[in-house]
């Protein structure tokens, strides 16, 4: 049995929880699972807003039928074509053969490419309105937040924005569906990890989308992941605004690779000097133990970053290389950086980390430090990185 969850008189939540999948996009750990959110508008016409990942389709269809019974679905609105939301398109078209697929000009070829469907389309453009009876949906294009076809749907009568992946989060909805029914603070970390790793590359498009949506009267946001927002909307928008500008709080992420503990010892010296000089928020990560998604999330949160690595086969340690390569690809800007490393016969790690700083245009707060063998004559230079970073971060 399913007790329908109302967003309003005519709008229902029909999303599902996934606690079995280990990796989102086969990349990002899902320690708290993930929710795939979908919504039904039950008016003179029935509209589904997005669907779910195909492995969850049985649970999803039970919820849809609990809301609409034997009524047909007239429209499936496809805000985003990624398969965790569009996975059920094929089966829905078979169950509801007269259903129209609502999308923009970039959605349509994706539907054909994924599913071979060549008709059934209602193409919408910027500002177009779809009438459902007493309610309607207006569409706004938000390309690259985070695919090129992405759009959002706004129901002006109930002031609900169906936002696709924007304002989403990792984490299942364990009883509570709305943001004021859950521990919202516990979701913030997963919201930032979701944003930074999934959407983080697209800061400029996010800024354009926020400007476009600024004029809408929004009382509720139904994203495709995470809780439905109704009590924390200004806070959520402010977080997206800061993240997409790469604005950060006064704190430092110290991420290091270490094979036998020598580079880790250098990291400990830097961290201690940060604390002595007043930095309260210090996050230390061994890149061989902690998944990069958590480190990247904290880099979006804190202004200062310190990277340390040994030289490995005349290159950067592979796990550190993967992290900095991801950050280069994302184009994360507006950070402070400290760099250190160690080697036994030929040093290369510090050179690579310094070139990373140049490429992403992060300010080096002190001269890079490279120690041959175990920590010795570079002890004070490591302390200098900590002092310089503290001064810059707390300024």
Each residue's pLDDT tens digit, 250-265: 999 999 999 999 999 9
Distance CA(74)–CA(169), nearest Å, equals 29
Each residue's pLDDT tens digit, 268-285: 999 999 999 999 999 999
Mean pLDDT of 145-154: 97
Domain boundaries, the chain: 5-244, 249-394
pLDDT at 160 (0 to 100):
98
Contact assessment for residue 254 and residue 385, using Cβ atoms and an 8 Å cutoff: no
Residue at token pair 């937040």: 145
Average model confidence (pLDDT) across the chain: 97
pLDDT at 369 (0 to 100):
98
Each residue's pLDDT tens digit, 197-214: 999 999 999 999 999 999
Distance CA(138)–CA(153), nearest Å, equals 6
Mean pLDDT of 152-160: 98
Smallest Cα–Cα separation from 85: which of 127, 135, 40, 49? Answer: 49
Each residue's pLDDT tens digit, 115-133: 999 999 999 999 999 999 9
Q: Longest Cα pair distance anywhere in the chain, in angstroms?
A: 77
pLDDT band at 219 (very low <50, low <70, confident <90, very high): very high
Residue 330 has pLDDT above 80, yes or no: yes
Residue 72 has pLDDT above 90, yes or no: yes
Q: What CATH number labels 249-394?
A: 3.40.50.360
Mean pLDDT of 297-314: 97
pLDDT band at 3 (very low <50, low <70, confident <90, very high): confident
CATH homologous superfamily, domain 5-244: Ribonuclease Z/Hydroxyacylglutathione hydrolase-like (3.60.15.10)
pLDDT at 317 (0 to 100):
97
Contact assessment for residue 297 and residue 193, using Cβ atoms and an 8 Å cutoff: yes
Residue 1 has pLDDT above 80, yes or no: no
Residue 49 has φ and ψ, to the nearest 5°, of: -100, 105
CA atoms within a 13 Å half-sphere pointing along the CA-CB vector of 25: 9
DSSP strands (E only) in 37-185: 39-42, 46-49, 75-77, 100-103, 121-123, 129-131, 136-141, 151-155, 160-164
pLDDT at 2 (0 to 100):
78
Share of residues in the chain with pLDDT > 90 (%): 98
Other CB atoms within a 10 A radius of the CB of residue 329 amount to 9
**Strand duo 75-77 + 100-103: pairing:** parallel
Each residue's pLDDT tens digit, 12-69: 999 999 999 999 999 999 999 999 999 999 999 999 999 999 999 999 999 999 999 9
pLDDT band at 4 (very low <50, low <70, confident <90, very high): confident
Share of residues in the chain with pLDDT > 70 (%): 100
pLDDT at 172 (0 to 100):
98
Each residue's pLDDT tens digit, 85-103: 999 999 999 999 999 999 9
Q: How many residues does the chain have?
A: 395
């Amino acid at each position: 049995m399913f007790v329908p969850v109302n967003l309003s008189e005519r709008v229902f939540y029909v999303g599902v929880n996934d606690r079995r999948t280990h990796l989102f996009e086969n990349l990002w750990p899902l320690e708290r699972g993930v929710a795939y959110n979908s919504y039904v508008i039950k008016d003179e016409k029935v509209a589904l807003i997005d669907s779910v990942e195909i492995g969850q389709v049985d649970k999803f269809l039970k919820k849809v039928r609990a809301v609409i019974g034997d009524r047909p679905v007239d429209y499936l609105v496809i805000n985003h074509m990624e398969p965790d939301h569009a996975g059920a398109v094929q089966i829905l078209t078979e169950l509801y053969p007269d259903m129209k697929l609502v999308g923009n000009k970039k959605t349509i070829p994706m539907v054909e490419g994924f599913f071979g469907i060549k008709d059934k389309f209602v193409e919408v453009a910027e500002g177009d309105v779809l009438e459902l009876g007493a309610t309607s949906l207006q569409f706004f294009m938000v390309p690259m937040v985070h695919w090129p076809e992405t759009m959002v749907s706004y129901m002006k009568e109930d002031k609900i924005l169906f936002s696709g992946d924007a304002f989403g989060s990792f984490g299942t909805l364990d009883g509570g569906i709305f943001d004021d029914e859950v521990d919202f603070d516990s979701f913030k970390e997963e919201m930032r990890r979701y944003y930074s790793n999934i959407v983080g590359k697209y800061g400029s498009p996010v800024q354009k989308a926020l400007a476009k949506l600024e004029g809408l009267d929004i009382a509720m946001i139904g994203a495709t992941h995470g809780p439905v927002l109704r009590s924390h909307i200004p806070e959520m928008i402010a977080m997206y605004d800061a993240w997409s500008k790469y604005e950060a709080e006064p704190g430092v992420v110290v991420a290091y690779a270490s094979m036998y503990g020598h580079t880790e010892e250098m990291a400990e010296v830097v961290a201690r000097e940060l604390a002595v000089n007043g930095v309260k928020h210090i996050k230390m990560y061994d890149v061989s133990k902690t998944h990069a998604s958590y480190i990247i999330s904290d880099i979006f949160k804190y202004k200062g970053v310190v990277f340390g690595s040994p030289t490995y086969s005349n290159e950067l340690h592979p796990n550190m290389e993967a992290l900095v390569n991801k950050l280069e690809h994302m184009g994360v800007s507006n950070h402070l950086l400290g760099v250190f490393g160690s080697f036994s016969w030929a040093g290369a790690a510090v050179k690579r980390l310094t070139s990373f700083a140049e490429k992403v245009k992060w300010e080096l707060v002190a001269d890079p430090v490279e120690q041959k063998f175990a920590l010795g004559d570079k002890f004070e230079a490591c302390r200098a990185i900590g002092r310089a970073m503290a001064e810059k971060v707390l300024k």
